[in-house]
Structure 1
Amino acid sequence: MRISTSQFYNQNIQTMDNQEAQLGTYYQQLSSGTALTTPADNPLGAAQAVQLTMVSATYTQYQTNQNSALSSLQLEDKTLSSVTSTMQAITSEITRAGDGTLNDSDRASIAQALEGYRSQLMNLANTSDGAGNYLFSGFQATTPPFTNNPAGGVNYQGDNGIRESQVADTRQIATNDSGSSVFLSVPATGTSPVAASGASNTGTGTISAPSITNPAVATNGDSYTITFGGTSAAPTYTVTDNTAVPPTTTAATAFSANTPISLGAGMQVQIKGAPAPGDTFTATPSTAPGNTSVFQTLDSIISALQQPAQNNPTATASLENALTTGTTRFQNSLTNVTVVQASVGGREQELQALQTTTQTNSLQTQSDLSNLTGVDMVSAISKFEETQNALQAAQQTFVKMQGMSLFQYLGS
């Protein structure tokens, strides 16, 4: 087989070009630390690398969302802890106000202290995150959630929106609670019915907090009205279930301060003192309108403490009833804050667990991507030197062979 001079040149030049190209590839891999410089290097590996890069970016975004959500929940948790502490201090003041040895001046001092605590509570309810976003405004994040109502209580300017963050493939987590759910609501479970006296009562009757004798009775959640009749010397009362359709009223029963009054088949109250004919008392569910706003409850208690009651049996009875009502309502509100804070704590724990899982998955994905695209430096250096030596040998051989000619041998 004959090999022409042009063939010889072309084959050697092509071999050296290929070696130089391979040498350039090895050099680029060594300098960049990446084995896949182009998809052509490893089409299957390149496709897998794209997929792993997308997964890694997703985990990075989840980590950002988790950190942001956890920061929001930790701020809410801290705020609710302050709310709880303030409400516990208020509870102590309300308990002290029930001391029968206090005079009007003492109660006025307690009312003033409660006004200070109310201001603290209002400030906490309007807490912002430092960037102008209010914790308890729902979707109306830039609007202060609460303003004082001149008639008592507050106006809620937020909404019931719950901001959620995508923290995993199939998990969104609430990063806030609305102000209405924290300060204007109470749960139906774990709270107590509220007893109250009529605003126009003229007797000295005082009502106790309702006691549950049979928790399984459905009518425990009904609203009841106790109406007194008869005469001052021989008072009677009737009990009306206002929730029944139509409302039902018991027959008139002789009143005795030592006998509990049944409200349906599973609840009872006790009324002491001397109710006057026409006086009324109510027992309503904890979730009934008027029972759920912590601010309205506080305002009612403060107003009652500011009213003169000294040496006035009717006013004293009215104050005692107001404190009984206010204590139950306020305790229900405190229970609600505790429930909300427990929910926040549960979400914090879930996020912390998700952070650990996501970080582990992210590190594994990055490791897989590194194994797929990274360069084995020892092997790459070895191949680089091997190819470099081969190229140098080819170049030297080509130079020597290039100078060879048949005429050199013929002449000799």
Structure 2
Amino acid sequence: MRISTSQFYDQNIQTMDNQQSQLGTYYQQLSSGTALTTPADNPLGAAQAVQLTMVSATYTQYQTNQNTALSSLQLEDKTLSSVTSTMQAITSEIVRAGDGTLNDSDRASIAQALQGYRNQLLNLANTSDGAGNYLFSGFQATTQPFTTNPAGGVNYQGDNGIREAQVADTRQIATNDSGSSVFLKVPATGTSPVAASSVTNTGTGKIGAPSITNPAIATNGDNYTITFGGTPAAPTYTVTDNTVVPATTTAATAFNASTPIALGSGMQVAITGAPAPGDTFSVTPATAPQNSSVFSTLDSIISALQQPASNNPTATATLENALTTGMSRFQNSLTNVTVVQASVGGREQELQALQTTTQTNVTQTQSDLSSLTGVDMVSAITKFEQTQSALQAAQQTFVKIQGMSLFQYIGN
């Protein structure tokens, strides 16, 4: 087969063009460190690289969410630790207030100390992060959750919203707890019913904390009223179960201060002293609204301690009943804060485990992406030099060959 001079030139020029193009590709790979400079270099590899890049970006976002969520939970955990310490100090003051040797002035001093602790709790309940978002306001992050009303009580301005962060493909985690769930409510499990006396009582009857007689049937949801009748010399009482509809009342029973009163649901409560006819006492669930707000509980204790009681048996009984009721309510609130803090700690541990897993996934994804798109520098340099040498040889050969002609030999 004869090859014309033009074909010979075209083939050699095309070969050198291809080598020059390949040399440029190798040069770009060496300078960028990327094997896939264009999708055309490796269409399948390019598609896989796009997918891995998207996965890597997703993991990076999860890492950001995890760090933000963990920071928020750590701040809440620290705040709840301060709340717990303050509440433990309050508990000590309430116990001290029950010392029968104290006088009105001593109790007034304790009331003043409790007022200071109450203010500390209110400040902690209004804790915010560095960005001005309140920890315990629910979805109303920029609204101060707790404010003081004109009557001196506390109003909750937040909501029950729980902010969540997407921290993994199938996992969202709560990054806050509402102020209502922390400071205004208590769970039925792990808390105790609350015994209380009526503020209108005129006798010296004192109610103790309810106790369990039959755990199999005892609940924390029953609501009882104990009403005294008869005469001062022969008092009687009835027990009304307000939980059922209609309410049921037992027959009048002779009162004996040394015998606890059975409540009919696996519980009993002791009443000592001398209740007057018409006096009433109650045993209500820990979850009842009047029992669950830590601020209203403190307000009632402070108010009771500010009332004169020295040398007044009725006032002394009223004070002791208020302290018993307040202590039960306050211990239930402390239990609730402990439960919430345990939940926060659990979420922190989960996030820390997720951070480790996500970092492992990020490292593996980046390694896969690097293997797919990265350049083997030794191999690339070798190919670059080989192609460069081949191109130089082709150029030199082409220069020599294009000068060859039969007429040159004839002339010689």
TM over 0.5: yes
Deviation at 1:383, TM superposition (A): 0.4
Alignment-derived partner of residue 173 in structure 1? 173
Q: Bigger CA drift: 337-346 or 142-151?
A: 142-151
Alignment-derived partner of residue 406 in structure 2? 406
Residues 13-412 of structure 1 aligned to structure 2 (within 5 Å): 13-217=13-217, 221-412=221-412
Q: Tell me, in whole angstroms, the C-alpha distance in 1 between the residues paired with 2:314 and 2:306.
A: 15
Aligned amino acid, residue 283 of structure 1:
V
Checking the alignment, whether the CA contact within 8 Å between 1:137 and 1:179 is kept in structure 2 is yes
1:220–1:132: structure 2 CA closer, same or farther, 3 Å change rule?
closer
Aligned amino acid, residue 143 of structure 1:
T
4+ residue segments displaced more than 2 Å = 149-153, 218-221
Q: Tell me, in whole angstroms, the C-alpha distance in 2 between the residues paired with 1:291 and 1:219.
A: 16
Q: Tell me, in whole angstroms, the C-alpha distance in 2 between the residues paired with 1:400 and 1:220.
A: 105
Deviation at 1:239, TM superposition (A): 0.2
**Secondary structure of 1:291's match?**
helix
Deviation at 1:289, TM superposition (A): 1.6
Q: Tell me, in whole angstroms, the C-alpha distance in 1 between the residues paired with 2:354 and 2:375.
A: 32
**Secondary structure of 1:40's match?**
helix
Q: Tell me, in whole angstroms, the C-alpha distance in 2 between the residues paired with 1:220 and 1:333.
A: 15
**Secondary structure of 2:291's match?**
coil
- C-alpha deviations, 1:147-169, integer Å up to 9, x for none? 12343531000000100000000
Q: Tell me, in whole angstroms, the C-alpha distance in 1 between the residues paired with 2:213 and 2:82.
A: 35
Q: Tell me, in whole angstroms, the C-alpha distance in 1 between the residues paired with 2:256 and 2:201.
A: 18
**Secondary structure of 2:290's match?**
coil
Checking the alignment, whether the CA contact within 8 Å between 2:145 and 2:157 is kept in structure 1 is yes
**Secondary structure of 1:238's match?**
strand
Checking the alignment, whether the CA contact within 8 Å between 1:220 and 1:267 is kept in structure 2 is no
Q: Tell me, in whole angstroms, the C-alpha distance in 2 between the residues paired with 1:220 and 1:32.
A: 70
Aligned amino acid, residue 9 of structure 2:
Y
Deviation at 1:215, TM superposition (A): 1.8
Deviation at 1:218, TM superposition (A): 5.2
- C-alpha deviations, 1:261-305, integer Å up to 9, x for none? 001140000000000000000000100120000000000000000
Checking the alignment, whether the CA contact within 8 Å between 1:219 and 1:264 is kept in structure 2 is no
**Secondary structure of 1:195's match?**
strand
Deviation at 1:306, TM superposition (A): 0.2
Q: Tell me, in whole angstroms, the C-alpha distance in 2 between the residues paired with 1:53 and 1:331.
A: 53
**Secondary structure of 1:28's match?**
helix
Checking the alignment, whether the CA contact within 8 Å between 1:220 and 1:264 is kept in structure 2 is no
Checking the alignment, whether the CA contact within 8 Å between 1:225 and 1:242 is kept in structure 2 is yes
Q: Tell me, in whole angstroms, the C-alpha distance in 1 between the residues paired with 2:213 and 2:288.
A: 21
Q: Tell me, in whole angstroms, the C-alpha distance in 1 between the residues paired with 2:128 and 2:4.
A: 87
Q: Tell me, in whole angstroms, the C-alpha distance in 2 between the residues paired with 1:220 and 1:299.
A: 24
- C-alpha deviations, 1:307-334, integer Å up to 9, x for none? 0000000000000000000000000000
Aligned amino acid, residue 131 of structure 2:
A
TM-score after normalising by structure 2? 0.99
Aligned amino acid, residue 405 of structure 2:
S
State the aligned residue count. 412
1:121–1:241: structure 2 CA closer, same or farther, 3 Å change rule?
same
TM-score after normalising by structure 1? 0.99
Specify every segment of 5 or more residues in structure 2 that has no aligned partner in the other structure, as ranges. Answer: none
1:256–1:121: structure 2 CA closer, same or farther, 3 Å change rule?
same
**Secondary structure of 1:147's match?**
strand
Give the root-mean-square deviation of aligned CA atoms: 0.8
Percent of residue pairs identical: 89
Aligned amino acid, residue 79 of structure 1:
T
Q: Tell me, in whole angstroms, the C-alpha distance in 2 between the residues paired with 1:98 and 1:269.
A: 19
- C-alpha deviations, 1:185-218, integer Å up to 9, x for none? 0010000000000110000000000001112215
Specify every segment of 5 or more residues in structure 1 that has no aligned partner in the other structure, as ranges. Answer: none
